Amino acid sequence: MSIILAIESSCDETSVAICNNGKITANVIANQTIHQNYGGVIPELASRVHQQNIVPVIQQALSDAKVNKKDLNAVAFTRGPGLLGSLLVGVSFAKSFALGLDLPLIAVNHMHAHILAHFIDDPKPSFPFLCLTVSGGHTQIVLVKSYFEMEIIGETLDDAAGEAFDKTAKILKLPYPGGPLVDKHAQLGNPLAYKFAVPQIKDFNYSFSGFKTSILYFIRAQEKENANFIKENLNDICASVQYSIVNILLTKLKKAASEMGISEIAIAGGVSANSGLRTSLQSMATQEGWNIYIPAFEYCTDNAAMIAMAGHFKYMNQDFVGQDVAPLSRMEF
């Protein structure tokens, strides 16, 4: 029996969740709108807003789950990877909260947690499975052997897929965060209107840096001919860029699945909310005979429910850390 309170503060969402015996009973997320004015997350502002949000978000989560803090069995928190100043707020709060209530502390790797979000609801993948983890900072193909044995078999050599979406949005003068807006416009456009070069990278690895630059050059060249190019073709540009990113992501995933002989396939992370990725994965699954696992929208982007789920499995192993634990902006997988 365990009731775990979990805190996520790795980037610009302050989130607190409660996991009661493996079931999520609260998942409160406070988004930070302040960054919209700057076109990207400003780390210093993010940590300040986490400080303002953390207490009300904790109170809301306890109230939603109808739990008294005295009933908690452990406090889980995101240790990393992420923005150091943001992580510091969650880690410091978790430590003092646990100290005050005499509770054990559970340190969670944010990228593991994105994958373990698949164990919140049914159907759950069976081990071993492959997970394409695509977020604002990471693009990885992970071989998941058990709750905590995970091996990165391919990853981006430079930028993440989420960055390619966000940078495209910036080039197209769409506000931050751009990924969801590119997705929205893409649903109204022709994915074959424009063709972009596919990076040729070895093994199961990715690269999005040259791809991002090719979009910038393409738009600049088109704008020289027609100053209203973006305005007149926004939906088609978004649809074509999204089509290319999804194609790049799924081609490598298919190669990995085929070479490793695995047909349990999952996606995770913020970009797994993308409608093009979700639909194309479904078609590929039918062709390839895969069982696929796509997270509910609320568990794609950053949330504490996934930290609570990871916390639950670690609690069962009595895998605790001491009060000397510190956040890590980069973290061993």
Instruction: State the number of binding residues for ligand KG4 (CB under 6 A).
Output: 19
CB 178, min distance to ligand KG4, A: 6
Which of the residues 101 through 140 are near ligand KG4 (CB under 6 A)?
Answer: 135-137
271 contact, one of ligand KG4, Zn ion, none, CB 5-8 Å limit per kind: ligand KG4
CB 308, min distance to Zn ion, A: 15
CB 12, min distance to ligand KG4, A: 8
What are the φ and ψ backbone dihedral angles of 330, each rounded to 5 degrees?
-115, 145
CB 114, min distance to Zn ion, A: 6
- Residue 80 found at the interface with ligand KG4 (CB under 6 A): no
| 3-state secondary structure at position 295 | coil
| 3-state secondary structure at position 20 | strand
Altogether, the residues listed in the chain come to a count of: 333
137 contact, one of Zn ion, ligand KG4, none, CB 5-8 Å limit per kind: ligand KG4
- Among residues 147 and 165, whose Cβ is nearest to ligand KG4? 165
- Do 133 and 140 meet the contact criterion of CB atoms below 8 Å apart? yes
Which of the residues 144 through 173 are near ligand KG4 (CB under 6 A)?
Answer: 162, 165-166
C-alpha to C-alpha distance for 25 and 27, rounded to whole angstroms: 7
- Residue 302 found at the interface with Zn ion (CB under 5 A): yes
CA 221 to chain centre: 33
Enclosing H/E stretch for 248 = helix 229-260
Dihedral of the alpha carbons of 276, 279, 282, 284, in degrees to the nearest 10: -50
176 contact, one of Zn ion, ligand KG4, none, CB 5-8 Å limit per kind: none
C-alpha to C-alpha distance for 88 and 99, rounded to whole angstroms: 16
- Residue 135 found at the interface with Zn ion (CB under 5 A): yes
CB atoms within 10 A of CB 180: 15
Q: Which residues bind ligand KG4 (CB under 6 A)?
A: 11, 135-137, 162, 165-166, 177-180, 183, 269-271, 273-274, 301-302
Residues near Zn ion (CB under 5 A) = 135, 302
